[in-house]
Structure 1
Amino acid sequence: MRLWSLHPHYLDRQGLLAAWRESLLAQAVLLGRTKGYTNHPQLFRFRESKDPAGALGAYLKEIADEAHNRNYRFDQEKIERINHGFTIDVTDGQLEFERQHLLAKILVRNPLETERIASLSAGPITPHPIFHAVHGPIEHWERGSLDRAPEEASGQQA
């Protein structure tokens, strides 16, 4: 399960579809409708919010809106609850880690998506609208984040 901190416009077709599917699974977990994935680290930041299911609903809504912009039809009736009333902090180290992770995936599965690759390759990265970027290292809940600085995640030497 990957709940991207990056804005959904960076996701390629496969990434957007996976984000929708995995976010719906996350919603089911937060609503207690499944026994699997209950301790998944990607859910940590949503669980810490005042309204976990509402926060995830707002996250899903942005994915659905991006899908609509691309003329895909995601059934927004599947979103249980949406709370647009707050944001969740995400570190710039986490955003950079995810940028490099997504870029590697797109270069393998869609190497001809030059515009998307270029938008990921340089400049500041835009977070998903429910997230607010703050300075810091890779998030503690990210797999493999221990003993790893953001520079290492991006492939840069310190």
Structure 2
Amino acid sequence: MRLWSLHPSLLDRQGLVALWREGLLAQAVLGGRTAGYRHHPQLERFRESPDPRGAVLAYLQAVADEADRRGHNFDRGRLDDIPVWQGSLEVADGQLEHELRHLRRKVEVRNPHLVGSLPASAPPAHPVFRVVPGDVAGWERA
């Protein structure tokens, strides 16, 4: 499971679709509708929010907004019918840089013509995150 902290606009088509699927899985896990992935480290930051389900819903809505912007049709009917959390989660700038390097490696393989569209550094964060100074997150797998 990869729930990118990067802004969804940075993802290629395959990355955006995978993020949608994995975000829906995270929604199911946090909603108690699946036994798998319950202890996945990427869910820690959502669980630490005052409203984990509302936070992942806000996350997914921003992914769907990016899909709409690109002309894709992600089924918003799959989103939980609960209030959207209005807060923000923190993400360290070091985590964003780590994810940018990871994304760059993926895009170099599957869509090398898009590598030049990625920022060299200081990538924008997903709208649900507020950037703070810091290193790679403790939950990140090396």
TM class, shorter-chain normalised?
over 0.9
* Paired-residue identity, %: 55
Match among 113, 132, 135 for residue 133 of structure 2: 135
> What CA RMSD, in Å, does the superposition of the two structures yield over aligned residues?
1.1
Structure-2 residue corresponding to 1:149: none
Q: Deviations over 1:32-76 (max 9, x none)?
A: 000000000010000000000100000000000000111100011
Tell me how far apart the structure 2 counterparts of residues 84 and 65 of structure 1 sit (CA, whole Å). 16
- Conserved? CA contact 2:97–2:122, under 8 Å: no
After TM superposition, the score normalised by the length of structure 1 is 0.86
Tell me how far apart the structure 1 counterparts of residues 90 and 25 of structure 2 sit (CA, whole Å). 22
**Please, which runs of 5 or more residues in structure 2 have no aligned partner?**
none
Letter in 2 for 1:104: R
| Post-superposition offset of 1:84 | 4.2
Tell me how far apart the structure 1 counterparts of residues 63 and 34 of structure 2 sit (CA, whole Å). 22
Paired residues in the alignment total 141
| Post-superposition offset of 1:78 | 1.1
Alignment of 1:115-154 (within 5 A): 117-144=115-142
Letter in 1 for 2:18: A
Tell me how far apart the structure 2 counterparts of residues 138 and 88 of structure 1 sit (CA, whole Å). 15
Letter in 2 for 1:86: G
**Please, which runs of 5 or more residues in structure 1 have no aligned partner?**
145-158
Tell me how far apart the structure 2 counterparts of residues 30 and 84 of structure 1 sit (CA, whole Å). 14
> In 2 relative to 1, CA 82–11 (structure 1 residues): closer, same or farther, beyond 3 Å?
farther
| Post-superposition offset of 1:82 | 4.7
Q: Which 4+ stretches in 1 moved above 4 angstroms?
A: none
After TM superposition, the score normalised by the length of structure 2 is 0.95
> In 2 relative to 1, CA 27–89 (structure 1 residues): closer, same or farther, beyond 3 Å?
same
Q: Deviations over 1:105-152 (max 9, x none)?
A: 001000122xxx2342414210000000100010011112xxxxxxxx
Larger radius of gyration: 1
Structure-1 residue corresponding to 2:35: 35
Larger RCO, structures 1/2 (Cα 8 Å, 6+ apart): 2
